[in-house]
Amino acid sequence: MDIRKLSRTALLLALVIVFQSLRLYLPIPVFVSVYMIGSLVNACLLLAAATLGPKPAWILAAAAPVVAYLQQVLPLPLLILPVAAANLAYIGGYLLFAARNGLLAVSAATTAKFIILYLTVTILIQYLGITGKPAAVLTLLLGWPQWITGFGGGVIFFAVCKRLFRPIPH
């Protein structure tokens, strides 16, 4: 990895950490922070995948749930793996269709992330015997809101790309 790619990866990783840290400093309700922070982190994943390639994006995909666990957003360390896998699926879904159509790529990414996360978390909850309110909260937070954060990340990503890659006037 060249120094440029490494520094851009580090910059995006720093952004992911800063975005995830917003919940510690801003007095926002949990469900609002899920949508806001999830969308910002997903935008970083897409930006890394589109501009740096899969390997740097994978670093972000693996780091984000570790940071979430350290901030006590993920209640169990075992949840790091499903979230990382879902982030990898998000990147893979995007890269699979990015050359064809941006909207299709974000749709595929969001669908892949939702399916992986929802299935793995549901299976893990059943396997661990988690019931009641904790199970409902985990299933809710790691379920359908992922659709919104996936597409929200895509919207932010497209806006950033439009701004970053617009033609420079002479």
167 has a pLDDT exceeding 60: no
Please name the amino acid found at residue 136: A
Of 79, 89, 85, the closest CA to residue 138 belongs to: 79
Burial environment of residue 28 by CB neighbours within 10 A (0 to 12, 13 to 18, 19 or more): middle
17 has a pLDDT exceeding 90: yes
Give 140-162 pLDDT, tens digit per residue.
676 788 899 999 999 999 999 98
Domains annotated on the chain, with CATH: 3-164 (1.10.1760.20)
Give 91-134 pLDDT, tens digit per residue.
999 999 999 999 999 999 999 999 999 898 888 888 888 788 87
168 has a pLDDT exceeding 70: no
Give 3-15 pLDDT, tens digit per residue.
999 999 999 999 9
Q: What is the pLDDT of residue 170?
A: 43
Please name the amino acid found at residue 170: H
Burial environment of residue 131 by CB neighbours within 10 A (0 to 12, 13 to 18, 19 or more): exposed
Spatial distance between the Cα atoms of 152 and 106, rounded to a whole number of angstroms: 10
Q: What is the average pLDDT value for the chain, to the nearest integer?
A: 89
Q: What is the pLDDT of residue 133?
A: 80
53 contacts: CB under 8 Å, gap ≥ 6: 5
Spatial distance between the Cα atoms of 64 and 113, rounded to a whole number of angstroms: 14
166 has a pLDDT exceeding 70: no
169 has a pLDDT exceeding 50: no
